[in-house]
Amino acid sequence: MKRAGGTRLALLVAMLGLTGSAIALGDQIDPVFQATGIKITEPTATSVNVWTRLTRDATRAPDDRPLPILHVFDRATGQELAIRNDAAYPNGRPVIEFAPGSDAGSIRGAAVGAAGQARVRFRTTAATEWSATSWRDADPQRDFTAVFPLTGLRPGTRYEVEVEARRNAKSSVASTVIGGFVTAPPENANARVTFCVMTCQQYEDRDRPDGFAIYPSMLTLRPDFFVNTGDVVYYDHGPVHALTTDLARYHWARMFGFPTLREFHRQVGSYFMKDDHDVLANDCEPGSRTGDFTFEDGLRVFHEQTALASSQYRTVRWGKHLQVWMVEGRDFRTARTKEAKGAPTIWGGPQIAWLERTLAASDATFRVLITSTPIVGPDRPQKDDNYSNSGFAVEGARIRAMLGHHTNLTVITGDRHWQYVSVDKATGLEEWSVGAASDAHAGGWNEETPRPEHRFLRIKHGGFLSGEVTTAAARQTLTLRLHDTTGKVVFESTKTGGK
């Protein structure tokens, strides 16, 4: 299918340097845009999901616009409640006001959805012809998003994509986002692989006007894939808590409308994991609620905004030498105060059994398990939310023993706002904490002196983790590195495999 105005669009992109941006054509009377960019998720050797969201405007509303004004009232007494970070309001009734001259579409960072259609064109970088999906209506019940599963792809291959949007079948293409990704190598391939992992990005703690510095820093490494371990947004921080589904979607729109995030996610395949702040509120669990927003609502919005895999826990192979596991830490946990029989669980019996089975079946040289919350720690004594805390001590000991049994297995964790590398004294299990997304969001660990289990400890500064698998003759290596937000390496360690 030849696109009307396609040549003119390409010239505009080239002249204006707006690759990956939404471009409105002159002959488009009522255009639609993609102000929150695209996400390329769940890459495997032969498949990937391409996510987009259609918007009314070409870019997010500027940061000089007013914020919405949120009030919360106790449903029983009518008393107005104070808005506090990390708080939940199970009995709260939210009331939202807009400053004079503003509305839901013009508040700070807003990018409201719009009706329209989208499709994906894709090809290998070596090809001249494009394949294309069919046009699909953006779903108004899912925040005007559309997800396109691409299947039957070639393993270990770089692809180009163009995500196009239009108002309807009678309209010309109104916006195009250009991007790309790489598929995982075949399971028997002696392949080099590079990846990045990050966590905990709070809107109020961003370190650049256009988003976060770590995104261009990570992009410089040209990762084959990326993992966000959770707390992608913070519903329960700042003056505008997500106490309704609409406010939750607003949190996603204002975050992913930032240029640094748009530029990164159009070029790198991603795996999204969730934790507490991006589902509902701090330390939440199934059955929780805040205002008019429930844990179950939070699950739906997270799936809607990330094209999350149907399985909440998954493993993916990146060639002969690397296998990655991503575990789910919120959906299966029990409330400790309500658990009458046995020790409380975080991962749940079926997930733990799956993990034991798949680890035993793996012949990968290096095994990397990525978790939203710590397994080894140490963590602060006042916390009771993860396997390094006393409330989950029984299951935590069992998990550490199971994982410590496997050679060349490393745990990478998010959630904590400081970077560390620690080794469990009982099992030898090693854990890397990637740290917060910005320096302003770093902290939480009160001790300046490392404990005996720490191989590395860095507080008060944000950053990310990178991993690199290299192959040479019969010897393979996995090098893990902790970086600051500029990309500078602050600690690294190399594991060796092979015969």
* Residue 433 Cα to chain centre, angstroms: 16
pLDDT for the residue numbered 210: 98
Query: Which amino acid is it at 402?
Result: M
234 and 315 both lie in a single domain: yes
DSSP for 346-411 reads SS-HHHHHHHHHHHHH---SEEEEEESS-SS----TT--SSTTSGGGHHHHHHHHHHHHTSTTEEE
Burial category of 486 from C-beta neighbours within 10 Å (exposed 0-12, middle 13-18, buried 19 and up): exposed
pLDDT for the residue numbered 30: 84
Structure tokens at 486: 């500029």
Q: What is the pLDDT of residues 382-410, one digit of tens each?
A: 899 999 999 999 999 999 999 999 989 99
pLDDT for the residue numbered 340: 53
pLDDT for the residue numbered 474: 75
In eight-state DSSP terms, residue 142 is G
Total domains, the chain = 2
119 and 222 both lie in a single domain: no
333 and 241 both lie in a single domain: yes
471: helix, strand or coil: strand
139 and 204 both lie in a single domain: no
Report the DSSP pairing between strands 430-434 and 409-413: parallel
272 and 365 both lie in a single domain: yes
Cite the beta strand spans of 27-83 per DSSP E. 38-41, 48-53, 69-74, 80-81
Establish if 203 belongs to a structural domain.
yes
Residue at which a domain ends, from 181, 208, 228: 181
- Cα separation values, 149 from 132, 264, 269, 391, 404, Å: 12, 20, 13, 40, 36
Question: In degrees rounded to 5, what are phi and psi of residue 315?
Answer: -130, 145
Confidence (pTM): 0.93
214 and 363 both lie in a single domain: yes
Average pLDDT per run of 10 along the chain, which is 499 residues long? Answer: 36 34 49 98 98 98 97 98 97 97 96 98 96 98 98 98 97 97 97 98 98 98 98 98 98 98 98 98 95 98 91 94 97 73 89 98 97 96 92 96 95 97 97 98 88 95 97 89 98 86
176 and 267 both lie in a single domain: no
pLDDT for the residue numbered 475: 87
CA distance 107 to 203: 15
pLDDT for the residue numbered 74: 98
- Cα separation values, 433 from 37, 153, 197, 225, 273, Å: 28, 33, 10, 18, 15
Most distant CA atoms of the chain, gap in Å: 72
CB atoms within 10 A of CB 290: 27
Establish if 1 belongs to a structural domain.
no
Burial category of 369 from C-beta neighbours within 10 Å (exposed 0-12, middle 13-18, buried 19 and up): buried
Q: What percent of the chain has pLDDT over 90?
A: 87
Label residue 411 left, alpha or beta by phi (over 0 means left) and psi (-120 to 50 means alpha). Answer: beta
Q: Residue 221 in contact with residue 194, Cβ under 8 Å?
A: yes
127 and 266 both lie in a single domain: no
Q: The domain spanning residue 154 has which CATH number?
A: 2.60.40.10
Q: Residue 13 sits in which domain range?
A: 6-59+110-181
Establish if 255 belongs to a structural domain.
yes
247 and 332 both lie in a single domain: yes
165 and 275 both lie in a single domain: no
pLDDT for the residue numbered 19: 37
Establish if 65 belongs to a structural domain.
no
On the CB side of 308, CA atoms within 13 Å amount to 23
